[in-house]
Amino acid sequence: MQSRQSADAKLSCRGLWKLFGDDAERFLARCDGHPSAEQIAGAGYIGAVRDANLDVHDGEVFVIMGLSGSGKSTIVRCLSRLVEPTGGELLFEGEDLLAADEKQLTEIRRHKMGMVFQHFALLPHLSVLGNVAFPLEIQGVDRATRERRAMEVIELVGLEGRETYFPRELSGGQQQRVGIARSLAVEPDVWFLDEPFSALDPLIRREMQDEFLRLQRVLHKTIVFITHDFDEAIRLADRIAIMKAGEIVQIGSPEELVTNPATQYVAEFTRDVDRSKVLSVRSVTTQAEDIGEVAGEVKADERIGEVAHRVVNADRPFAVMDETGRVIGRLEKNAVLDVLAPHGSRDVAAQ
């Protein structure tokens, strides 16, 4: 089994299926593990996840996204075995997760997996401290140790001073922070988040995205994040899997999905994305050994939107530096304006 997983993958699935209906395992076997959409529909099954293959690498934010009904929430529940897959392989740290019995699975979930869902599911009779410490209490951790750990993550998510509050005394954003803190208390190896911010107001949602990015810079967790919002996905993701009707249609970085969509569906999904938030300086760099006079330097992995103001308002191009500090070419004003133009941003950038 281990040979089927890439070397740095924390979590993988191969040929993963989830069919809803009676005797789904037998049906899948009769179809040699690869039923067509017509066979699935004709037999009265719902193909929630269809022949999915993915690797989630150690320390990355892997976003799974799609429209409602695409299968994104089902697949994340299959990856944690909250929902039992109908068929396929599921590997966690190189081990066959589908072979784990209920006791082993419970231990893995308690000690190695953290989960945050759209609905906070806080225990109303417990304080913030009690809610955050609850998973450690379930593990049998003594009170002093679990409350010390709970206070550490309460401080980490910015709720210090509210540890004695009850959920009803908190705002929606604060309640979600409690949910995040609770999932982090067990120091999970893999962190599952299923649309954790979608129930929040836009301003609070943006603040929680900022908080998420800050936490990831500190913790370097392996994260599977579910969303239907492409703007949220490109802001948070290292890589994105786009799902449609239970199938993963493309996996790639935000830039790869925008510049090289594999299907018309992906092209439509990404059509209205602000390309300045996605495209890197490297993608529009003019390769040149002699770059001439320049106005300054930019990094190749910076986003166009991050450097647009400086470049558009300069009278000379900028030198582009790779991660080693080597000059790899120059960034021209017109290249930046071409990225900004589809969104009517030229005037804004020049202000």
pLDDT digits (tens, 9 = 90+) for 308-337: 999 999 999 999 999 999 999 999 999 999
Whether residue 351 has pLDDT greater than 70: no
Q: Which parts of the chain fold into alpha helices (H)?
A: 24-30, 37-42, 72-79, 102-112, 128-138, 143-156, 172-184, 202-219, 230-236, 254-259, 264-270, 304-312, 333-340, 346-350
Phi first, then psi, for residue 244 (nearest 5°) are -145, 125
Which of 270, 293, 323 represents a domain boundary (last residue)? 270
Domain co-membership, 286 together with 265: no
Phi first, then psi, for residue 209 (nearest 5°) are -65, -45
Domain co-membership, 208 together with 309: no
Whether residue 3 has pLDDT greater than 60: no
Tokens of 74: 């089902």
Q: How confident is the model over 226-277, as pLDDT tens digits?
A: 998 888 999 999 999 999 999 999 999 999 999 999 999 999 988 888 999 9
Full domain range(s) for residue 307: 276-350
Fill in the amino acid letter for 101. D
Domain co-membership, 229 together with 304: no
Give ∠ CA 70-236-15 in degrees, rounded to 5. Answer: 40
Query: CA–CA separation, 196 vs 180, rounded Å?
Result: 9
pLDDT band (50, 70, 90) for residue 342: low
Q: How many domains in the chain?
A: 2
pTM assigned to the model: 0.85
What's the mean pLDDT in 103-113?
Answer: 89
- The secondary structure of 114-149 as a DSSP string is EEEESS----TTS-HHHHHHHHHHHTT--HHHHHHH
Which of 208, 242, 270 represents a domain boundary (last residue)? 270
- The pLDDT assigned to 222 comes to 95
Give ∠ CA 261-262-265 in degrees, rounded to 5. Answer: 75
First-to-last alpha carbon distance for the chain, in angstroms, is 57
Other Cβ atoms less than 10 A from the Cβ of 229: the count is 16
